[in-house]
């Protein structure tokens, strides 16, 4: 059989890598992202809801179809690393996240299980780097086993999804410090109501001299002042904020560009830089936008 795999995922797609491995093991030919290929059967794995009708396929899955799942015999396959030009192992040791944030798709996904898995289920000895796709590693009761397996193999971690700073304690922070990463570790400060937990996590990061990148959700239920406050606290500890607009309003995108520009680094505070660099007319518009935010409960 000729199998066509289609996706809008900008990087790798683990489900398609497993499907490819399963079909090749059964003697089928597999091709990736060739919509006009005359295939006997076509799978489309869609990440973004706006692309649900992008491809014509026999079977659809991915984040845009939260009830979709691979068959058990496909789920247990090691990924076909030849499908993508990657130089790292790729997979989950723990899939769910139980935080149930309204702005996040993860709690709505139909995960195959909530069990701990060994990295050896997807580890490829050809690679010295491993990419964990876990949605919340520290919610796994057996999280330390994951790190111990990584240490035993002397692997470097490619961090894409990050870690929940609200769950940090001495043991978890020590584990992160001991682990080799490509680039900076990722955390997030999404909600003002988590301030106490996040400030505690920031203190632990400072204590162990871990410098990270922080996703900052804006335009959901925080005001501009709260967005500036979170970025200020993050930068004071030597970390880099990365703005993630929930709504792509002019204000949210302007603030994202402002933080990316790093022009604020020449000022004592981010608030002072915003007041100085943003024209008066834009500040008035910003205030008008703020009035449309839903009330905050005090930031996927």
Q: Give me the residue spans of the domains in the chain.
A: 1-78, 87-161, 185-300
Q: Which strands sit side by side in the sheet containing 59-61, from one edge to the other?
A: 29-32, 2-7, 41-45, 59-61
Phi (first) and psi of residue 36, to 5 degrees: -95, 0
* Residue 126 clears pLDDT 70, i.e. is over it: yes
Give the mean model confidence (pLDDT) for residues 211-226. Answer: 94
Contact 72, 97 (CB under 8 A): no
Which is more confident, 262 or 174? 174
Alpha carbon distance 222, 165 (integer Å): 19
Alpha carbon distance 89, 81 (integer Å): 8
Phi (first) and psi of residue 45, to 5 degrees: -105, 110
* Residue 116 clears pLDDT 80, i.e. is over it: yes
User: Which band of pLDDT confidence, cut at 50, 70 and 90, is reported for residue 45?
Assistant: very high
For the record, the structure tokens of 284 come out as 């008035």
Encode pLDDT of 103-113 as tens digits.
777 766 777 78
Name the percent of the chain lying above pLDDT 70: 92
Which helix or strand (DSSP H or E) is residue 149 part of? helix 143-152
Strands (E), 55-171: 59-61, 89-91, 129-132, 156-159
Encode pLDDT of 279-298 as tens digits.
543 444 444 443 333 332 22
Give the mean model confidence (pLDDT) for residues 88-105. Answer: 85
| Residue-level pLDDT at 202 | 97
| Residue-level pLDDT at 106 | 74
| Residue-level pLDDT at 287 | 44
Name the percent of the chain lying above pLDDT 90: 78
Written as one string, the DSSP assignment of 80-99 is -GGGTT--SEEE-S------
Query: Which residues make beta-bridge pairs with 132?
Result: 91, 159
| Residue-level pLDDT at 215 | 95
Give the mean model confidence (pLDDT) for residues 113-127. Answer: 95
Encode pLDDT of 153-199 as tens digits.
999 999 888 999 999 999 999 999 999 999 899 999 999 999 999 99
Interaxial angle between packed helices 170-178 and 143-152, expressed in degrees from 0 to 180 and rounded to the nearest 10: 20
Average pLDDT of the chain? 89
| Residue-level pLDDT at 296 | 28
Alpha carbon distance 96, 286 (integer Å): 37
| Residue-level pLDDT at 295 | 31
User: Which band of pLDDT confidence, cut at 50, 70 and 90, is reported for residue 203?
Assistant: very high
Alpha carbon distance 187, 241 (integer Å): 10
| Residue-level pLDDT at 161 | 87
Which is more confident, 287 or 135? 135
- Do strands 2-7 and 41-45 pair parallel, antiparallel, or not at all (unpaired)? parallel
Give the mean model confidence (pLDDT) for residues 217-221. Answer: 92
Which is more confident, 68 or 207? 207
Give the mean model confidence (pLDDT) for residues 70-83. Answer: 96
Phi (first) and psi of residue 264, to 5 degrees: -70, -20
Which helix or strand (DSSP H or E) is residue 7 part of? strand 2-7
């Amino acid at each position: 059989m000729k199998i066509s795999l289609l996706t809008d995922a900008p990087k790798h797609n683990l489900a398609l890598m497993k499907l490819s491995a399963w079909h090749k093991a059964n003697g089928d030919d597999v091709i990736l992202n060739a919509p006009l290929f005359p295939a006997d059967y076509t799978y489309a794995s869609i990440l973004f809801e706006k692309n649900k009708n992008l491809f014509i396929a026999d079977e659809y899955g991915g984040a845009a179809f939260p009830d979709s799942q691979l068959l058990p015999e496909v789920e247990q396959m090691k990924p076909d690393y030849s499908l993508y030009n990657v130089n790292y192992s790729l997979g989950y040791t723990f899939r769910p996240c139980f935080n149930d944030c309204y702005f996040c798709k993860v709690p709505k996904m139909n995960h195959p299980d909530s069990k701990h898995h060994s990295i050896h289920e997807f580890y490829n000895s050809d690679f010295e780097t491993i990419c964990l796709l876990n949605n919340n590693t520290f919610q796994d009761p057996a999280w330390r086993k994951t790190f111990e397996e990584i240490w035993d193999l002397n692997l470097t971690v490619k961090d894409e999804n990050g870690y929940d700073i609200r769950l940090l304690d001495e043991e978890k922070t020590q584990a992160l410090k001991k682990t080799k990463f490509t680039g900076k570790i990722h955390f997030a400060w999404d909600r003002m109501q988590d301030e106490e937990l996040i400030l505690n996590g920031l203190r632990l990061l400072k204590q162990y001299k871990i410098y990270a990148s922080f996703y900052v959700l804006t335009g959901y239920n925080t005001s501009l002042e709260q967005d500036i406050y979170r970025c200020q606290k993050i930068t004071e500890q030597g970390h880099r904020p990365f703005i993630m607009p929930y709504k792509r309003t002019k204000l949210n995108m302007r603030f994202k560009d402002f933080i990316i520009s790093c022009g604020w680094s020449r000022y004592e505070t981010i608030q002072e830089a915003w007041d100085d660099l943003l024209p008066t007319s834009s500040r008035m518009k910003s205030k008008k936008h703020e009035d449309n935010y839903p009330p905050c409960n005090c930031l996927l």
